[in-house]
Amino acid sequence: MIPYPTLSKITGVFLLLIIPFVVPFWSPTAVQAQEERYFPATDHTIRGRFLDYWQQHGGLPVFGYPLTDERIEAGRTVQYFERARFEYAPEYTPPYDVLLGRLGADVLSERGIAWQTTPTSPGPAAGCLWFGQTSHNVCNQLQNQGIGFLSYWQSHGLEFDGQPGSSYQESIALFGLPITEPHNAEINGETLQVQWFERARFEWHPNNPAGSRVLLGHLGSRLLGEPLEILPPQTSVNQVELYFIALGDQGQSGRKIGCGDSVVPVSVAIEPTTAPLTAAFQRLLAVNTSYYGQSGLYNALNRSDLTLDYASVEDGIATIHLSGAVTMAGVCDTPRFEAQIRQTADQFSTVDTSIVYINGERLEAIVTP
């Protein structure tokens, strides 16, 4: 067993690693006209360079929604997000005056866990990335497919070298060093494999659709004492319904909507998953034609360029967050567009109602003239 490095050594290594790689950005409190973006989902606003940073380095999937506006903590200007804390550090000259809070270490400390005393690895493991500074490996859960914590860590980072992809230093700047071994933990009533980093908690969701199996824990929510997202227990699902439009059908084939059309379900097979809401929207938004196959059913979403940021279900309420460009062909496309999205969300027995956001704005505000 390799002796565990002392805290002073770890701190020294950490400072050497992180100081050169913090993304440039000016003081968030600079007195000048600032771009800002309001998020109705949480009733908070991101401004100025904090907004630039949020947009450039990951947005919703990496940082989540803002949970506070800018505020002062221990003499620093900070802003909390679901998965991060932005900090303004005036003692450093630009470009080193904005840091990401060490939420992973902070949350463990809040729980009374000294990560320096937790189990470590004896040395490098095959197919993994070894961090001698903290004596931990980061590995892929599906090594033969290159899917898991390692590939996620290596493919995400703070962009500052202008080169494609994420370098080791850029990933360190975003997530920090691993501070625990992978282990099982109870998250929202589900047993998941997790691994903690200085600024994040990686979670392995093996039943999620491809591309969503590694998620980041809501550590900002945890530190603020906000309730974490609670998903109802679900069995594995291998089929969902996508909804399209029968033009001029007058309600004969499905629920009647405006302009004499009907919204009609089409059953499609999916890989077994306990996250069918996410899978259904991913499949629906992947249809890039005006008509679905040979069915003759119209797709009012075709002209838009939307992606699913994430979806959740809590207490019977489905919340769907989409982003991208919205384009409709005319006044009749408005009820068609809304119906396809609503019906796809409302099809599940665990859903009583749905709330849909597009670029942070409620769907009904977008489709209401």
Burial 97-118 (b: 16+ CB within 10 A, else e): bbbbbbbbbbbbeeeeeebeeb
Cα dihedral 366→211→164→145 (10° resolution): -170
Closest by CA to 172, choosing from 298, 284, 343, 20, is 20
> What one-character DSSP code corresponds to residue 93?
P
Does residue 237 contact residue 275 with C-beta atoms inside 8 Å? Answer: no
In angstroms, the first-to-last Cα distance of the chain is: 67
User: How would you classify residue 32: left for phi > 0, otherwise alpha for psi between -120 and 50, otherwise beta?
Assistant: beta
How far is it, in rounded angstroms, from Cα 312 to Cα 64? 13
36: helix, strand or coil: strand
Task: Give the model's pLDDT for residue 339.
Answer: 95
Whole-number CA gyration radius for the chain: 23
Task: Give the model's pLDDT for residue 95.
Answer: 55
* CB atoms inside a 10 Å sphere around CB 205: 18
Strand order from edge to edge, sheet including 317-325: 305-314, 317-325, 353-358, 361-362
276-286 and 333-346 helices cross at what angle (nearest 10)?
A: 150
Task: Give the model's pLDDT for residue 94.
Answer: 58
How far is it, in rounded angstroms, from Cα 84 to Cα 63? 5
Task: Give the model's pLDDT for residue 275.
Answer: 79
Does residue 305 contact residue 288 with C-beta atoms inside 8 Å? Answer: no
How far is it, in rounded angstroms, from Cα 344 to Cα 242? 6
Does residue 86 contact residue 9 with C-beta atoms inside 8 Å? Answer: no
Residue 297 CB contacts under 8 Å (≥ 6 apart), including other chains:
244, 245, 246, 264, 266, 291
| Domain spans in the chain, listed from the N-terminal domain onward | 1-230, 237-367
Task: Give the model's pLDDT for residue 134.
Answer: 95
Does residue 137 contact residue 125 with C-beta atoms inside 8 Å? Answer: yes
> What one-character DSSP code corresponds to residue 232?
P
Does residue 339 contact residue 328 with C-beta atoms inside 8 Å? Answer: no
Task: Give the model's pLDDT for residue 201.
Answer: 93
How far is it, in rounded angstroms, from Cα 282 to Cα 301? 13
pLDDT tens, position by position, for the chain (369 residues)?
333 333 334 444 443 344 344 433 344 444 345 688 998 888 899 988 788 888 888 888 888 889 999 998 888 889 999 888 999 877 876 556 778 889 999 888 877 778 888 889 999 999 999 999 999 999 999 999 999 999 999 999 887 767 777 889 889 988 999 999 998 877 766 778 999 999 999 999 998 877 789 998 888 877 776 443 333 344 578 899 999 999 999 989 999 999 999 999 999 999 888 778 888 999 999 999 999 988 999 999 999 999 988 777 765 678 888 889 999 988 999 999 999 999 999 998 778 788 888 988 889 888 876
